[in-house]
Amino acid sequence: MGDHEVVIETPRHNAKLSDLQVEEMENILWAYRERIRDMKTDSRFRYAMVFKNYGTAAGASLEHSHSQLIALPIVPKRVFEEMEGARNYYNYRDRCIFCDIIRQEIREEIRIIEENGEIIALAPFASRFPFETWILPKDHRPSFEEMGDYKALAQILLSILNRMDRILDNPPYNFVIHTSHFRESYNEYYHWHLEIMPKLTKVAGFEWGTGFYINPTLPEDAAKSFREVPL
């Protein structure tokens, strides 16, 4: 039992997400927000996830630029693990782990790709994939759909997708938005974020067997390349 919706990102058949204007991207993010808020009114659901598959190697089966929303009656395994980890950290330190990561990354600078007043994009310390990028609100915001404004996010997301196109030659990629679960839209320990995973390497037996990931690209090198690309 669940719900599945497709967001058609643009009326132009040949445009890809990275070709859009900031206002168009903002509208897409507002559509995600409105649809998640509607899904939340259905008491059967516990969680909503936004994801995008771009390029056949990333699992896209339609050409026209689109993303997807899914509502689930349970919290997904990966989100549950993140939430449990964040909750344990909070119980120990009395601080949100994502807020602490952002503070540390701003201090160290080397893994930051871009930031504006509200949003930051960085190459995570334990990146699973080459050029994996996380986009987060700088302030403590548990739920994506509770943001009052999406302009700062639209700007950074578009910029990252364009940097990816330039450096990696229009690569296949997935992105997912991890937000809090419906029962606890506000909490002290979770912090919504958007994970972008370019699909440059193959996930093989080692990864399937262990749940560990072999990544030949240092996040510091990925962030540096991203920063230096002329836009």
Q: Compute the CA torsion angle 120, 121, 127, 131 (nearest 10 deg).
A: -170
Give yes or no: 181 in active site: no
Residue pair 182/46 in contact (Cβ under 8 Å)? The answer is yes
Minimum Å distance from CB 198 to a copy of itself?
A: 12
Residues in 157-176 at the binding interface with a copy of itself, rule: CB under 8 A:
174-176
> For residues 111 and 178, which CB has a smaller minimum distance to a copy of itself in the complex?
178
212 binds a copy of itself (CB under 8 A): yes
> Which residue is catalytic, options 4, 13, 64, 66?
66
51 binds a copy of itself (CB under 8 A): yes
70 binds a copy of itself (CB under 8 A): yes
Which one among 21, 34, 59, 186 touches a copy of itself, defined by CB under 8 A? 59
Which one among 21, 34, 73, 78 touches a copy of itself, defined by CB under 8 A? 78
> For residues 39 and 115, which CB has a smaller minimum distance to a copy of itself in the complex?
39
111 binds a copy of itself (CB under 8 A): no
Binding-residue total with a copy of itself (CB under 8 A): 34
Minimum Å distance from CB 231 to a copy of itself?
A: 25
Q: Under 8 Å CB-to-CB from 188, ≥6 apart: which residues?
A: 90, 96, 140
Q: Which of 92, 114, 90 is nearest to 196 (CA)?
A: 114
Q: How many CB atoms lie within 10 A of CB 117?
A: 7
Residues annotated as catalytic are: 66
Instruction: Provide the binding-site residues for a copy of itself, judged by CB under 8 A.
Output: 49, 51-53, 56-60, 68, 70, 72, 76-79, 81, 174-178, 195, 197, 202-206, 208-212
